[in-house]
A and B are shown apart, each in its own frame.
Chain A
């Protein structure tokens, strides 16, 4: 599938308020640079992210989705990310079972201090998806037509 040269992927990132969102802000404070196509949705804890949001994101035209939270053991709410880990281990495999390319959905633990790790993960995911081209799978007809224009 030929990728239009100036095509920019749209990537959604659910970031937990206490760790990854803070890490992302820290990346900003340190003026680190990363691609523009990752948009962050702030959630109180990664355990608030319902795996159904991932299916929804692909349906509504996103090309990639990330879920980031605190390292297990550091969760501000003690046990939140233990549940996140199980949920997304299963959802990731269910999506792959249905044909979603594994690189399109990424789940990573990024703490409040790991600004560089946030930048690296975002850059890596963004470049990977840019190489893969737009995501047609699960996409609603409205976005398929919009893509065709």
Chain B
């Protein structure tokens, strides 16, 4: 598999259209890889493809919105959904990207257990055999577990989690749906988000971000992977997705590049519960 990916990268460089390609490279630790930015054929040697390629390669393209040449990205299933997400949000232009899709074999990341799109949804060239996809029954297991609790138990469960949060904003910086120019939390003049570290401020941040990305979350699991304090962030956005599923019909985000988020639409015969 690794050689096919390397050949694809070399062919991309030969075409002269691609400025650099984003992939993974080894680190000093056997169980970790780090994103690799290949600029020329020699760099392609450093490329690795193993079960430790857990970093998402997609969001780095956001930092280079006006590239001279195309940006090459090696995409697993979830990375391709991240690219589709950012194109739907009009933050990336499809013509600026050269996408090398690789059918994912599942990585060393708990989210891969409930992955429903191992085959990339968008690519210029695909490596590996497309697999049949189906939504994992475990998708909303975590959400149902919390739903079974009483309101007080739920609050105490989340209180412990948000007491841990150190507000390092890694979950925001890694999330492809969090692609604002300036995050609401950085705009102190408006005063949405305080700077103090206490449970209430952390909950405001946690819930606000969940609500902001809830109807566009592609369930890539990066937020839970990067959280140094291991907060169950996915269960917030998956709660939103479960409600959207129940209320407005089956939903999976980041599958097409013209996707209209649910909160941006309305339907005359939506369920009526506020009468």
Binding site for B on A (CB under 8 A): 51-52, 55-56, 59, 71-72, 79, 82-83, 85-91, 93-102, 107-109, 137-141
Contact = CB atoms under 8 A, between A and B. Distances in A.
A59 to B, nearest CB: 5
Chain B interface helix/strand/loop/mixed: helix
Interface string B153-191: 111111100000000000000000000000000000000
A93 B274 contact: no
B198 A140 contact: yes
Interface in B185-229: 192, 198, 200-201, 203-204, 207-208, 210-211, 214-215
Interface residues of B, number: 43
B151 A94 contact: no
Nearest to B267: A82
Contacts of B210: 94
B275 A109 contact: yes
Contacts of B236: 94, 97-98
A82 B268 contact: yes
Of B192, B272, B274, B275, most buried by chain A (CB within 10 Å of CB) is B274
Contacts of A107: 274
Given A88-B274, A90-B214, A98 B207 contact: yes
Contact of A97 (B154, B200, B273): B154
B28 interface: no
B268 to A, nearest CB: 7
A100 B271 CA distance: 22
